[in-house]
Amino acid sequence: MDKDRMKQITRDLLEVIGENTKREGLRDTPRRVADMYAELTEGYSMNPKEILAREWNEVTGMVVAKDIGFFSLCEHHLLPFHGKVHIGYIPSRAVVGLSKLVRLVDCFSKRLQLQERMTKQLADALNENLHPYGVVVVVQARHLCMEMRGVKSGAEIVTSEIRGQFKKFETRNEFFEMLRKDV
């Protein structure tokens, strides 16, 4: 990221808002904002193929990772949406550790995003790199662009994507049963 340019843009933004960019509290704001955007968009430089490359062979049943927290930025307003991702897959040969799934969520959430697209990208990345028998991804999120402004609704938005065997009702049901359980 061109941080000098980001600092200048932030100074411009502060001026347009009507602020005095010289005052104490705002003096370091352009630098902080530039660092922050670099961090919040670092997913662009992450590669899902690389993240999922270090897999291991193991015969198991359904693998479920629930409550993976995430923060993203809505591409319409540049405001955060945040919540939890739940992932289930049925390995055909490869399984990956939880830390890989957390990194995969980082890869797609630390960008300008739409919740629906992020859900789809996660399902596709798992499907294409692990070749499982099936994948399900559920994302629950709250959108600050709807809570701070606009409709001012605090509703949680839930999106899901299914691939392969999760299209079968019983398989999908087993996944949701596992999500409900507190183990």
For residue 48, give every residue at least 6 positions away whose Cβ sits within 8 Å of its Cβ, in sequence order, or none.
104, 107, 108, 121, 125, 129
Choice between 10 and 115, CB closer to Zn ion? 115
**Cβ 118 to Zn ion, closest distance in Å?**
13
> DSSP assignment of 2-34, as one string?
-HHHHHHHHHHHHHHHT--TTSGGGTTHHHHHH
Choice between 100 and 110, CB closer to Zn ion? 110
Cβ burial, residue 75 (10 Å; 0-12/13-18/19+): exposed
Closest by CA position to 22, among listed 37, 30, 2: 30
**Cβ 49 to Zn ion, closest distance in Å?**
29
**Cβ 156 to Zn ion, closest distance in Å?**
15
Question: What distance in Å separates the CA atoms of residue 37 and residue 35, rounded to the nearest whole number?
Answer: 6
Choice between 100 and 143, CB closer to Zn ion? 143
CB of 162 closer than 8 Å to CB of 123: yes
For residue 20, give every residue at least 6 positions away whose Cβ sits within 8 Å of its Cβ, in sequence order, or none.
26
Alpha-carbon distances, residue 113 vs 55, 117, 162 (angstroms)? 27, 7, 20
**Cβ 105 to Zn ion, closest distance in Å?**
19
Residues pairing with 68 in the sheet: 85
Q: Which residues are near Zn ion by CB under 5 A?
A: 74, 76-77, 145
Residue nearest to Zn ion (CB): 145
Choice between 1 and 144, CB closer to Zn ion? 144
**Cβ 140 to Zn ion, closest distance in Å?**
16
